[in-house]
């Protein structure tokens, strides 16, 4: 491992912001300290949602599965060459930012929307978004609610401290509509309150709503999503500011899953693709070049991530593809060449 002990300091534009940052976030980390701590510990600490089917949720034996959980595993594969060397730390909405700020976790992969306010005030750096979604509403089929305007005066269940809570306030205010919020931290209680009819609608990122129908295993057909997406929610992983080395590793791991799909390098064929004549594929998989060395990891870092976890399509289909409990069309989460907005920076 290279000596990466240089300290990076970031200035702030105003004394007021400086005071605010000191109150909510630790001092910037030394560049390279995070990866050193991870290696010394022997495992990656990844902050995830306590239970959001499709994204991150433990089974009855404590084994974690989900889209974001797999991105944690891809990081472990890059750092250790072993995707199993990750410990999942369940964080509530209120715990997630203090958890990453304090160093309780090394990376946050917990349905976090990247916003300017969070970027400039919480001491965080966001990776490229790994999932694009937006605020949606789930209602009971027999409620008579067919569109957003029908929610005027409704009771709406939502999680506290979320962009969803902010979005609904702005959405209803702009339309001159009223609503009564029921704000519940625990996701299971939140969903139970909606399912049992204590609120007229459940508001979440639209990608999470099919999982609610899957939770109500007895009557999934009694719930429907209202048409439309009512905000921009680019879900991204987050790390503490100041450690550029760790940020680069997380960022380029994300890009490797994008570029792997774009180049046709998948979990199923990655061994075969080691023989590809395409120079860009050779560089990405570590057959040629020295990009792994420059990042302080193995030359085959991207190979390990794709081999053990998969490219973006592999990960997406595993959790949201046909035949899964939560089938989701990829929509914006398609490659840029296919009409989506996934755009991996060149690995070369």
Domain count, the chain: 2
Q: What are phi and psi of 266, to 5 degrees?
A: -120, 175
pLDDT at 23: 41
In this predicted structure, the answer to whether residue 320 has a pLDDT above a threshold of 70 is: yes
Q: Are residues 255 and 116 in the same domain?
A: yes
In 191-212, which positions are buried (b, 16+ CB within 10 angstroms) versus exposed (e)? bebbbeeebbbbbbbbbbbbbb
Q: Which residues pair with 233 in a beta bridge?
A: 133
What are the tokens at 153? 């005066």
Residues 55 and 113 in one domain: yes
45-70 pLDDT tens trace = 999 999 888 999 999 899 999 999 99
Residue 143 in contact with residue 221, Cβ under 8 Å?
no
Backbone angles phi, psi at 134, to 5 degrees: -170, 170
Average pLDDT over residues 244-267: 98
Whether residue 21 is predicted with pLDDT greater than 90 in this model: the reply is no
Report whether pLDDT(27) > 50.
no
Mean pLDDT of the chain: 89
Task: Please tell me the predicted confidence (pLDDT) of residue 13.
Answer: 36
Verify that 117 and 167 share a domain, yes or no.
no
- Do residue 259 and residue 121 come from a single domain? yes
What is the pLDDT, as a whole number, of residue 327?
87
Q: Is residue 20 part of a domain?
A: no
Predicted confidence (pLDDT) at residue 194 exceeds the cutoff of 60: yes
Token duo for residue 339:
């009409």
Instruction: Answer whether residue 283 shows pLDDT above 60.
Output: yes
The arithmetic mean of pLDDT across residues 330-334, rounded, is: 93
Candidate ranges 14-23, 47-56, 187-196, 268-277; pick with highest mean pLDDT: 268-277
Greatest distance between any 2 Cα atoms in the chain: 63
Examine the domain organization and report whether 152 and 194 are in the same domain.
yes
pLDDT for res 31 = 67
Give 112-142 pLDDT, tens digit per residue. Answer: 999 999 999 999 999 999 999 999 999 999 9
238 and 120 together in one domain? yes
29 pLDDT above the threshold of 70: no
Return the pLDDT at 162. Answer: 83
| 223-225: strand order across its sheet | 179-183, 154-158, 201-205, 135-140, 223-225
- The residue length of the chain stands at 348
The Cα–Cα gap between 48 and 64 comes to 10
Residue 221 domain boundaries: 135-231
Task: Please state the pTM of the whole predicted model.
Answer: 0.83
Sheet with 238-240, side-by-side order of all strands: 86-90, 44-48, 107-108, 238-240, 124-126
CATH number of the domain enclosing 64: 3.40.190.10
pLDDT value of position 10 = 35
């Amino acid at each position: 491992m290279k000596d990466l002990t240089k300290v990076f300091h970031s200035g702030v534009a105003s004394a007021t912001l400086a005071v605010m940052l000191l109150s909510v976030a630790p001092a910037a980390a030394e560049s390279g300290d995070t990866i050193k701590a991870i290696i010394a510990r022997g495992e990656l600490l990844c902050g995830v949602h306590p239970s959001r089917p499709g994204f991150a949720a433990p089974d009855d034996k404590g084994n974690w599965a989900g889209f974001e959980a797999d991105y944690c595993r891809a990081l472990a594969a890059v750092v250790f060459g072993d995707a199993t060397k990750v410990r999942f730390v369940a964080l509530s909405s209120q715990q997630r930012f203090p958890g990453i700020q304090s160093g309780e976790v090394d990376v946050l992969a917990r349905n976090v929307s990247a916003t300017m306010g969070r970027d400039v005030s919480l001491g965080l750096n966001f990776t490229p978004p790994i999932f694009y979604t937006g605020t949606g509403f789930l209602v009971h089929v027999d409620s008579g609610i067919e569109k957003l305007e029908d929610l005027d005066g409704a009771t709406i269940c939502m999680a506290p401290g979320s962009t969803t809570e902010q979005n609904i306030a702005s959405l209803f205010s702009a339309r001159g509509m009223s609503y009564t919020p029921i704000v519940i931290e625990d996701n299971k209680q939140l969903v139970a309150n909606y399912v049992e009819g204590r609120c007229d609608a459940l508001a979440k990122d639209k990608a999470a709503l099919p999982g609610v129908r899957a939770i109500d295993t007895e009557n999934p057909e009694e719930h429907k999503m209202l048409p439309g997406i009512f905000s921009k929610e680019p879900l991204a992983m987050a790390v503490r500011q100041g450690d550029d080395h760790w940020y680069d590793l997380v960022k380029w791991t994300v890009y490797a899953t994008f570029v792997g799909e774009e180049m046709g390098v998948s979990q199923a064929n990655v061994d075969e693709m080691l023989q590809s004549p395409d120079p860009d594929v050779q560089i990405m998989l570590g057959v040629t070049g020295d990009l792994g060395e420059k990042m302080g990891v193995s030359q085959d870092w991207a190979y390990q991530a794709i081999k053990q976890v998969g490219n973006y399509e592999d990960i997406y289909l595993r959790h949201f593809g046909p035949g899964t409990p939560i089938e989701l069309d990829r929509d914006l989460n398609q490659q840029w060449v296919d009409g989506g907005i996934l755009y991996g920076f060149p690995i070369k």
